[in-house]
Amino acid sequence: MTILGISAYYHDSAAVIIENGKIVAAIEEERFSRIKHDNGFPHKAIDFCLKSRGMEMKDVDCVAYYEKPLLKFERILENFIATFPFSLKPFLKGMPEWLDYKIKIESSIRRLGFKNRIFFVPHHYSHAGACFLNSPFKESAILTIDGVGEWQTTGLWKGDNNTITPLKRIDFPNSLGLLYSTFTAHMGFKVNEDEYKLMGLAAYGKPIYADKIRSIVDIKPDGSFQLDFKYFSFREGFRMYNNRFEKIFGKARTKNERIIRHHADLAASVQSVTEDIYFKTLNHLHELTDSSNLCLSGGVALNALANGKIYKKTPFKNVYIFGAAGDSGAAVGAALYVNNVIMKKKRNQPQNLYLGSKYDNSAIEDALLRYNLRYIKHDSEQKLIDRAASLLSKGKIVGWFQGGCEFGPRALGNRSILSKPNPKSMKTKMNIIKRREQFRPFAGSILQSEVHKYFEVPEKNHQSPFMTFCFRVKKEKTAALASIVHKDGTCRIQTVNKDNGRYYNLIKRFFELTKIACVMNTSFNLKGEPIVETPDQAIEDYLKTKMDRLFVGDFEIYK
Amino acid sequence: MKKLFTFFKTLNNIFITVILTIFYFIVIGMISFFYRLFKRDDKNPMSFWKKVDGIKLDPDYFSSPY
């Protein structure tokens, strides 16, 4: 049974193919279109997925779409009605889009030459499927939490083998994701793109505005909440907040305005309130399900800072967060939901996320000849690893382009820029290369076998393979990890083991040379770009920046 | 030719905008009046969690875009 999963028309359009329950190809449209968070119909992503399996659309048994478009349209219309007459502008913008193509998703799919069955899996069911059905758990509590799907913004579920039972929900316009996005917008950052910047900024401030936020968000002891819409305007306009909101929290920051302490305090405050709702919700979920396992999905589940505290703030012992927890991952969830829940097929083992495009040595060498660069082709993996690890140990910054590209927002060692995790100045150097704001922290990739020696993790050999948790760095290791310890003493980490192939071998060799089991890992892209997709793009970014060396496949490239 | 095309496209966009604006104020406005008249918010001082309709087991439910 071959199922094509699709997400489109909101943000992070993607396509995925599963064969007999196993994800065999998955990629976001942005990697091809080079439009960050591309929300168009994912033609190129679908094309890639089919070609990578030697298939055509006629070979696909069914298509799973990640939401119910008409139900979403119902919410859009009801919102226009509820906010009349203030919603004229979004009405004039939105209606042509909806009538032209957004409600005609079935036609868009049929135009690809597809004649078989199409499933429309509700958005939060897709999120629930993405985390639970990919997890190692036979049973689990499940929380799905995002901006909004059709109507739903939060879902409490119980997963049991091939069944996912909905328990409770919160609907639009009350949304924790949209609350966070409102402050993201107020801070001059982009909604649905820069929420993680707010999270990073929080470490520099104190939550002195938390009580003011609580005065406009009614939070119950069970984690349910309601926003006071005297202060929010995302229902009726293009701006997320209104003048009353600015009276409380100050004038909104403009895009290039200097970030000051006030902004950091706001970031810390909304992070604090978000965590309050998050943990109350999780504790309530635990009461409902009595499970020690937890699966998380939806955009808010990318809040790694909150995730790292789950083990201390809730009774959950085992937590799984699907690496592509946002809307691109919902394409996976929809496909798995159809396969496992509707078709009742057996669940597969959890997988890594190296599901995208690969380039062989011949394609890489063609790219190198186009750019007329000096390079060495290493004739063994060991030689390549030795060279890269040696350069890293000497403090060099290395572009690392290997194997299949990662699915989801994080680079997990196949499309990464790597460096030693010290000294502290390495962070400044890397932020300059990436053309990022200096307050933004970097993540670390660490050998799973050593993780408990460096970070305050719940147990020895703790697994965190998708960079979805921040943990506190142990005091005795802060010097060794100086450039990846954030202002609040935490670091977002990826644990690496033999399943990570060449990347694991690289870090292992680095450990042998330096006695440090961790490297700094940031995504291979410059500001405003999606992660590099082709060897050409990797070479171009390498040439534009002060990266010291580039490794693409078996090739080591010099400037 | 390109200028002519742009002219007609602009005209078309203005036409659509005018039609949608009239629709908005008349149709959406009327529905909005009755919506506000009859809409009742759930009042529960203890919790804002909504109950769900139960698990969807019918595969036909998933065949519909609604």
pLDDT in 10s for each residue of chain A, 559 residues: 999 999 999 999 999 999 999 999 999 999 999 999 999 999 999 999 999 999 999 999 999 999 999 999 999 999 999 999 999 999 999 999 999 999 999 999 999 999 999 999 999 999 999 999 999 999 999 999 999 999 999 999 999 999 999 999 999 999 999 999 999 999 999 999 999 999 999 999 999 999 999 999 999 999 999 999 999 999 998 899 999 999 999 999 998 899 999 999 999 999 999 999 999 999 999 999 999 999 999 999 999 999 999 999 999 999 999 999 999 999 999 999 999 999 999 999 888 999 999 999 999 999 999 998 999 999 999 999 999 999 999 999 999 999 999 999 999 999 999 999 999 999 999 999 999 999 999 999 999 999 999 999 999 989 999 999 999 999 999 999 999 999 999 999 999 999 999 999 999 999 999 999 999 999 999 999 999 999 999 999 999 999 999 999 999 999 8
What is the phi/psi pair of residue A283, to 5°? -65, -35
pTM of the entire predicted model:
0.96
A-chain residue closest to B19, CA distance = A92
CB-based contact (8 Å) between B38 and chain A? no
The DSSP code for A232 is: B
Contact indicator for A303, A274 with CB cutoff of 8 Å: yes
What is the phi/psi pair of residue A456, to 5°? -85, 80
As a whole number of angstroms, the distance between CA A155 and CA A146 comes to: 9
- Candidates A163, A126, A170, A177; CA nearest to A336 is A126
- Put residue A360 in one of left, alpha, beta given phi > 0 → left and psi -120 to 50 → alpha: beta
- Candidates A267, A241, A270; CA nearest to A437 is A267
Cβ of B52 and A166 within 8 Å? yes
Mutate to test the interface with B, among A68, A72, A84 (most CBs of B within 10 A): A84
As a whole number of angstroms, the distance between CA A167 and CA B53 comes to: 9
The SS3 call for residue B48 is: coil
Residues sharing a CB contact under 8 Å with residue A534, sequence separation 6 or more, in sequence order:
A357, A359, A367
Between A81, A168, A171, which is nearest B35 by CB? Answer: A81
Which chain B positions have a beta carbon within 8 Å of A119's beta carbon?
Answer: 62-63
Contact indicator for A295, A329 with CB cutoff of 8 Å: no
Residues 332-371 of A with CB under 8 A from B: 338, 342
Cβ of A224 and B48 within 8 Å? yes
Question: Would strands A62-65 and A117-120 be described as parallel, antiparallel, or unpaired?
Answer: parallel
Alpha helix positions (H), A394-447? 425-434
Residues 126-145 of A with CB under 8 A from B: none
CB atoms within 10 A of CB A216: 19
Between B20, B39, B59, which is nearest A91 by CB? Answer: B20
Between B21, B46, B54, which is nearest A92 by CB? Answer: B21
